[in-house]
Amino acid sequence: MEGEKGAGRIESRRVYTGKVISLDTDTVRFPDGSIGELEMIRHSGASAIVPFLSDPRGEDPQVLMIRQYRYAAEGYLYEIPAGRLNQGESPRDCAARELKEETGCTAEQFDHLLTMYTTPGFTDEKIHLFMATGLVAGETKHEADEFLDLHPMRLSRALEMVEAGGIQDAKTALGLLFAAGFRAGR
């Protein structure tokens, strides 16, 4: 992506390719014309879903949260369902697949909320946030490294957890706040 004064990537060298991420060392031209090197984590992107168990426009609707073990966080985090995009997969299809795999639910409707960069200081990862309504329960299909359980709760409770620091996952906090502030109750 080119910016002001010709800012952008001059050269990129792949340092590592893994299952989930790749690491590149990029030579870049900064907006002031200077040149430097940055380590960039490349990621295929992901979709995340704020699943509503009841009408989001109703009085204190219910959302379906998950509590998932995260090695990097050294424990369990409350999150919304999410997962990595497969090659060629649309963000909406990814959202439907991940909702089914992690919660067992299918949804009648997916509404795109926003697309966000997770940590643009060192990665190009984008997460596409959706709101899902009209949920129908089914069977989960967790991956071997997924350890999670389902936690239905009122939206007000989830927002209290965000405010109190009980929800520390950024995509979850933003997804809940966005859905509550711009979609639920309207």
Residue 31 makes CB contacts below 8 A (sequence gap 6+) with: 3, 4, 5, 7
Q: Which of 39, 146, 160, 163 is flagged as catalytic?
A: 146
Cβ proximity of 99 and 49 under 8 Å: yes
Which run of H or E residues covers position 131? strand 126-136
Of residues 71, 66, 76, 125, the one with CA closest to residue 101:
66
* Backbone torsions φ then ψ of 180, nearest 5 degrees: -70, -40
Q: Is 146 a catalytic residue?
A: yes
Q: Which residues are annotated as catalytic?
A: 146
